């Protein structure tokens, strides 16, 4: 298990964000499926409205003050990573979203699902 933790530490931050993007998407869709009434197309539209750089940047404010120093360092690494946003995306929002996704990727790969649940609960209570 120690090697696995070392692999996570050595992974490029954008690879961790790649994983975290899916984690966030899964949590949002799971929450909507479990708590929302409506047809799939309505759930899909709601998910799309939440799983994008602009929405994620806004949602980060719900948890930023709850992050540990280690988590904040991971977030900052992701936020400061050199990546290219799509032309229709605000680059600042994209950077913030990448930081959030990197954090979620690390937590997920480390098996810290309780911590993801805790952070996601703060997001849900504040915005969803």
* 2 pLDDT above the threshold of 60: no
75 and 95 Cβ atoms separated by less than 8 Å: no
* 68 pLDDT above the threshold of 60: yes
Tell me if residue 114 is catalytic.
no
* 79 pLDDT above the threshold of 90: yes
- CATH number, domain of 9, equals 1.10.1520.10
pLDDT band at residue 61, thresholds of 50, 70 and 90?
confident
- Lowest mean pLDDT, pick from 33-37, 55-59, 103-107, 114-118: 33-37
99 and 76 Cβ atoms separated by less than 8 Å: yes
Tens digit of each residue's pLDDT (9 = 90 or more) over 9-52: 789 999 999 999 999 999 999 999 998 778 999 999 999 999 99
Task: Please give the model's pTM, rounded to 2 decimal places.
Answer: 0.89
d(CA 40, CA 97): 25
Residue 17 structural domain: 2-126
The single residue of 21, 25, 93, 126 carrying the catalytic annotation is 21
The pLDDT, as a whole number, for residue 128 is: 57
Structural domain count of the chain: 1
């Amino acid at each position: 298990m120690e090697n696995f933790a070392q692999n996570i530490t050595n992974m490029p931050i954008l690879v961790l964000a790649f994983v975290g993007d899916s984690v966030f998407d899964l949590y949002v869709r799971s929450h909507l499926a479990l708590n929302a009434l409506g047809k799939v197309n309505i759930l899909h539209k709601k998910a799309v409205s939440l799983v994008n750089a602009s929405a994620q940047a806004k949602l980060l404010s719900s948890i930023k003050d709850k992050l540990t120093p280690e988590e904040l360092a991971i977030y900052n690494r992701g936020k400061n990573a050199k990546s290219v946003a799509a032309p229709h995306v605000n680059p600042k929002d994209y950077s913030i979203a990448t930081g959030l996704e990197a954090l979620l990727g690390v937590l997920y790969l480390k098996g810290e699902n309780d911590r993801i649940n805790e952070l996601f609960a703060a997001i849900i209570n504040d915005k969803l």
